[in-house]
Amino acid sequence: MGLLCVSAARASAAPPSGLFRVTIAGTAQATWDHTAAPSDTGDNCKSSLRSEGMRTVRFRSTRPTLVRFVGGRILQVAVRGLAGTVTLSGPNTLNRICSGVETHVSQPCANTTRTFTNGHASLGGSDPGTISIDSAQVSLRRADCPLEPVDVVRAPLGPVPGAVKVSLASLSRPRVARVTLRAMASRHKMYAAPEAGKLTHQSVWTLTFARVQP
């Protein structure tokens, strides 16, 4: 009898396992004022392009993805079918220096909206109660008016948040049908010579886990 009681107590204290369907929704915003390194145009002049932009991305899952928790740890899973819109505004400016004379020619850009349906992210976790967004990518053509900085192109859905904590108690209670987690990330960069300017890049992610009842 003593052995049976000890075994039951250990089982009840074990980290929870369960099956859920996860959906993702989020926003990412980048604002920048970036001047590229000057280049020699071959006519005793040097030119550079200044880009000032604001880029807003809104994205969401088009379908839920099945995920499993074992011992309170989420098993690695790819969440595909992220769809969204990218709105972009701002001007370019062409800078030229010839024989010490500097000129600036403004190149206005029309406000644009792009759409995508091929986004994907990877969720995983090395410890119970911890969820990480390991990667997030979208195949999207780079805009040139205003010219998007390389840092923005490399992180199309914004900077990836760090690890998110989830309550083990919520995972273990069958009556908790839905668990929603919110994560934020931000990045600030000052461009060093021969470039110039600054970039602010922020993102907010919402992960919703709906329990699959046995």
Reference 17, options 81, 67, 89; nearest CA is 67
Q: How many domains does the chain have?
A: 1
- Residue 167 falls within a domain, yes or no? yes
pLDDT exceeds cutoff 50 at 175 = yes
- Please give the model's pTM, rounded to 2 decimal places: 0.86
- Residue 195 falls within a domain, yes or no? yes
- Residue 119 falls within a domain, yes or no? yes
- Residue 173 falls within a domain, yes or no? yes
What is the overall mean pLDDT for the chain?
A: 90
pLDDT band with cut points at 50, 70 and 90 for residue 110: very high
- What domain range is 163 assigned to? 16-34+54-90+113-211
3-state helix, strand, coil split of the chain in percent (to 5) is 10, 60, 30
Question: pLDDT per residue over 1-40, tens digit each?
Answer: 333 333 333 434 455 678 999 999 999 999 999 999 999 8
* 77 vs 126, residue with greater confidence: 77
d(CA 78, CA 99): 56
pLDDT band with cut points at 50, 70 and 90 for residue 214: confident
